[in-house]
Structure 1
Amino acid sequence: MSEQLISSTSCSADNLFAGGVQRAVTGVVTLKAGLAYTRGTVVGLITAEDKAVAADSTKTDGSERPNGILTDDVDATMADVITTVYLTGEFNEAALTFGGTDTADDHKQTLRDIGIFLKSNVKA
């Protein structure tokens, strides 16, 4: 009798994207060591180091200005990590993470200026 091998996986949508009109373009950044980051984290670049951290409007080192949105969860707790970010696209503002106490409203206009558009997803 032959053995049957069955494998199953599950997939759940994280609702990061919110529309398909604006094309999502990716780029590469170096995340600064010290934290684990989640997919959907909005990052800014520290000007002096050219390294990305979560965008925080209270900073004055360059990271207060969003540069992109992380495409994946990234563990940079022990060392800097080169990873990908979305540079343009349409995203669900409720699925984004920011530094400090920032919210999507704090960065909505700046994100629009770089081609990232925030929207609210509606449940069906």
Structure 2
Amino acid sequence: MPILTEGRTAGDFVLYEVPEYSRDLATIAAGADLDAGTVLGRITASGKYVRSVRTATDGSETPVAVLRRAAAAADADVPNAILQARHTRCRRLGLIFDASWSTKAHRDTACAALAAAGITTT
């Protein structure tokens, strides 16, 4: 019998949420496949979400959400992706940060931005 691998799930990073309130549906912009738990920023011009990159200048440099399920967005936008957008407590070590958030101080800044959006980390 073949071995099955589950992959990342929300159980890897969500500690508390209110399902009817904490989640949003949004579009993930094409460009990269993203795993569940990826810290996201929103592009100001389009309103689409991408991996938050600290050095970006399009609005996505500010972390505002966490991707709940993987999104295969390498070749095309992914509509109706589920995000943790507010009133959520996440396990910080379960989150996936872009490499630009390379130091503890940078990740502290990212977590502070998430907290401003209503997503706390422990």
Matches within 5 A, 1:1-124: 14-18=11-15, 20=16, 23=18, 25-82=22-79, 83-88=81-86, 89-102=88-101, 104-119=107-122
Determine which structure has the larger helix proportion and give its number. Answer: 2
2: CA distance, partners of 1:10 / 1:48: 38
1:23 and 1:75 map into 2 onto residues whose CA distance is: 26
Runs of 4+ with deviation above 6 angstroms: 9-13
Structure 1 alignment gaps of length 5 or more: 1-8, 120-124
Contact 1:38 1:73 in 2 (8 A): yes
TM-score normalised to the size of structure 2?
0.78
Superposition TM-score, scaled by structure 1 size: 0.77
- Unpaired runs of 5+ residues, structure 2, are none
**How many Å apart are 1:11 and its aligned residue?**
6.5
How many residues end up aligned between the 2 structures? Answer: 109
Q: Which has the larger radius of gyration?
A: 1
Alpha-carbon separation, structure 1, partners of 2:37 and 2:5: 20
What RMSD over aligned residues (CA atoms) do the two structures have, in Å? 2.2
Deviation per residue, 1:81-112 (Å, 9 max, x gap): 01110012000111111224215323111111
